[in-house]
Amino acid sequence: MPERADVRPPLVRVLLQAQGQPVLPEPGRRYACVVVGAPTVVLRGPIAARALPGRAAFQVGAFGNEANATALVARLREAGFVGAVLRFPGALLRVAAVGNDGEDTPALAGRLRNAGFSGQATTVPGSGEVVLEGEGGATVRGPSVLLVPLDPDPVRVGAKAVRGEIELRPGTAGVAVINVLNLEAYLRGVVPAEMGPRAFPLLEALNAQAVAARTYAVAHLGDHAAQGYDLCDSPACQAYEGVDAERPLTDRAVRETDGEVITYQGRPIDAMYHSTCAGHTEDAGALFPSRAAPYLKGVPCRGERTLAAGASSVRGPWLGSVGRLAAVGRRLAEALGCAADPHSLAARLAGVQPGPGVAGIVAAFAVPATAATLHVAHGKTAEDAALDLLRLFRLPLPPSPGGSGQAAWEVALAVRLGQLVGTVQAHAGRLVPGPSGLRLILEGDAGSRDIPRGESVLERRGERWRAGAIEFAAGSRATLWCAGEACPVLEVEALEDADAGSAWTWWVREFPLDELGSRLGVKGVRAVTVTRRGVSGRALSVSVSGQGGSKEFGGMAFRRALDLPDTLFVVSPSRNAGRPALRFLGRGWGHGVGMCQNGAYGLARGGATYVEILKTYYTGVEVTRWQGGNDEQRPGTGERGP
């Protein structure tokens, strides 16, 4: 773990989605209103804000060097205009002709046309104002107003409550609302929004998310200082839901990793992350050329540690549903100390010596009386009544086959009837490492059970089962078969990848060809072909064939045009409401670069620490204590979401 140091966290400016004319609704709430160069004024809530437009301007040129921009400003001045160079980080120098005080955009456009200039309408950053009106009609105005609450409670802006202070300034769609708070307080609203503790209730996974989110913010400090904010509050940057999202477990993750960031060669990395990688992450440079980095390489979504069950390396034949239940029944009989024939097993499970045949087994479990009570008998044979009752309680068993398969079927029947009356239990859950081997975390918050050594193992694949030893990733689904204290059979549905248990592993989208054409700007779409794939199998380039030829798309551009969950897909022809269509069968959720959140959870279930998780997904990195910045800084970040 990185060595701790007493470093004060920086302030972060978060652009909230509330724009237009926002309201701070709390009545009587007192705020100090700070405007640079003006006396501080105290307003009481509720406070309403509106924007006054900035000075009209037209962008008349953009240049990569200062000399050309300066020359155009001189030409504007000679023609009687005020020229200005608008500077934005990472962009060309934009030269604008600025209107006079009170001059609107049409009037400025007319003057420019008469002088031989043309351009694109814009406004001069910082030239507008916001007007705040509080209780009793009191007002404050300025190019930017910082609202400092005079009590420690969170501030509510519209539907969102946030810690820290609120800055209001003219924005692109009214008033821009910017939450100013320290980095660690910000993370308390990010970590549960990105990786909710109900879905991911393991501290090591949440620790990894906290460090990744902190690193992402730190790495992009200063990217948008010219616009007055650092990060937006949507997934385009990092999801930030404020105080209402905070939870004790994610607060603990933020607290336990306080100040820690991921570094490569001593610098904080661009810590991209996503929901589900479907077994393998992708090289950042393949999908986002401008973000290529040696630490953002595609890697398998699995840890070095695997779990194992079963002692015998000899694999049995694949069994169907009846064969599987018969195998379970025979091991239960052995554990209970009785013969493995159906009547002996039924006697131990029902506590009554059964009569001959299927009817005797059914009667021993008092099924006819139960079936009659539930109105499923109605003169049926004992077997039919039992099968109906089992189906009703989702314990299906096919009809008896007769012949050589009859004995196995009757053992299976005894197992199912034992489940019905409660003498046989099938405990379902997910497997994780235990103190002495394996532990089954039961479904529905029902606790856990340690798996006894010497159990028989059935590997499950779909609706087939076979006996034998098996290796698998933590989090694999499993069922422990028990009769009382005897639990001799473990059934495992193996996961190979850490994120394979994600609910977002698979997806399907279907589009009629005419809708595809409309979304992609291609008339008469005939086919969609993935022409290049990355190391993870994700589509890097896609060709769309239409009436006028083919149109090429990058993988991410294609995904955005169709709003697909991921770029990992195959395409097949289909029909939708009788119309020709294309079906996209996909895996994964997100861009597939950097840390896989579901994979991080899977690795944590396997016993990985958060540092091990981060080093799995980010190549060649270290986790260190960040030494940069203090709470006097005003950082910023780009609109480049994780």
435 falls within a domain: no
108 falls within a domain: yes
255 falls within a domain: yes
In whole angstroms, what is the distance from residue 548 CA to residue 564 CA? 25
For residue 488, give both structure tokens.
């001799």
> Same domain for 560 and 620?
no
553 falls within a domain: yes
DSSP result, 295-316? T----BS--S--EEE-S-----
> Same domain for 215 and 119?
no
164 touches 213 (CB < 8 A):
no
CATH number assigned to the domain comprising residue 58 = 3.30.70.1070
Reference 513, options 499, 524, 497; nearest CA is 524
Task: Using the predicted structure, report yes or no on whether residue 299 has a pLDDT greater than 70.
Answer: yes
Residue whose entry in the numeric block shows the structure tokens 């204290």: 485
553 strand-pairing partners = 542
**Strand ranges (E), 16-109:** 23-24, 30-34, 41-44, 47-52, 56-63, 82-86, 93-98
What does the pLDDT average to over 140-160?
91
Task: Using the predicted structure, report yes or no on whether residue 122 has a pLDDT greater than 50.
Answer: yes
> Same domain for 197 and 259?
yes
Integer-rounded Cα radius of gyration of the chain: 33
The CA-atom distances, in angstroms, between 96 and each of 58, 78, 79, 115 are 5, 14, 13, 14
In whole angstroms, what is the distance from residue 34 CA to residue 322 CA? 76
614 falls within a domain: yes
In whole angstroms, what is the distance from residue 162 CA to residue 244 CA? 8
Q: What is the CB neighbour count within 10 angstroms for residue 320?
A: 12
In whole angstroms, what is the distance from residue 47 CA to residue 147 CA? 10
Q: Which of 73, 91, 123 is the last residue of a domain?
A: 123
What does the pLDDT average to over 485-493?
93
Per-residue confidence (pLDDT) for residue 635, from 0 to 100: 28
> Same domain for 209 and 271?
yes
DSSP result, 260-297? EEEEETTEE----EESB-TTB---HHHH-GGG--TT--
Q: Which of 73, 93, 123 is the last residue of a domain?
A: 123
State the residue range of the domain holding 60: 54-123
In whole angstroms, what is the distance from residue 629 CA to residue 218 CA? 9
Task: Using the predicted structure, report yes or no on whether residue 85 has a pLDDT greater than 50.
Answer: yes
> Same domain for 208 and 279?
yes
In whole angstroms, what is the distance from residue 96 CA to residue 63 CA? 12
172 falls within a domain: no
What does the pLDDT average to over 309-328?
89
446 falls within a domain: no
Domain count, the chain: 3
What does the pLDDT average to over 612-630?
86
Per-residue confidence (pLDDT) for residue 344, from 0 to 100: 95
> Same domain for 189 and 282?
yes
Q: Which of 123, 151, 168 is the last residue of a domain?
A: 123
Per-residue confidence (pLDDT) for residue 125, from 0 to 100: 59
At 129 the three-state DSSP class reads: strand
Q: In the structure, what pLDDT confidence band is assigned to residue 641 with cuts at 50, 70 and 90?
A: very low
Per-residue confidence (pLDDT) for residue 474, from 0 to 100: 86
Per-residue confidence (pLDDT) for residue 265, from 0 to 100: 94
pTM for the whole structure: 0.79
What does the pLDDT average to over 37-55?
88
> Same domain for 283 and 187?
yes
Which is it for the CA torsion 396, 401, 404, 410, positive or negative? positive
Arithmetic mean of pLDDT over the chain = 88
Task: Using the predicted structure, report yes or no on whether residue 21 has a pLDDT greater than 70.
Answer: yes
488 touches 546 (CB < 8 A):
no
Per-residue confidence (pLDDT) for residue 153, from 0 to 100: 93
> Each residue of 340-369: pLDDT tens digit?
999 999 999 999 999 999 989 998 998 777
What does the pLDDT average to over 479-483?
95
Helices and strands in the chain, H and E counts:
16, 37
In whole angstroms, what is the distance from residue 408 CA to residue 325 CA? 8
Phi, psi of 309 (to 5 degrees): -145, 150
DSSP result, 368-428? HHHHHHTT--TT--HHHHHHHHHHHTT---PPP--GGGHHHHHHHHHHHHHHHHTSSEEEE
Q: In the structure, what pLDDT confidence band is assigned to residue 546 with cuts at 50, 70 and 90?
A: very high
Q: Which residue has the higher pLDDT, 343 or 373?
A: 343
581 falls within a domain: yes
Angle at 548 between CA 546 and CA 554, to 5 degrees: 60
94 touches 66 (CB < 8 A):
no
Reference 131, options 22, 52, 242; nearest CA is 52
> Same domain for 195 and 272?
yes
**Which range, of 235-244, 410-419, 429-438, 562-571, averages the lowest pLDDT?**
429-438
> Same domain for 550 and 634?
no
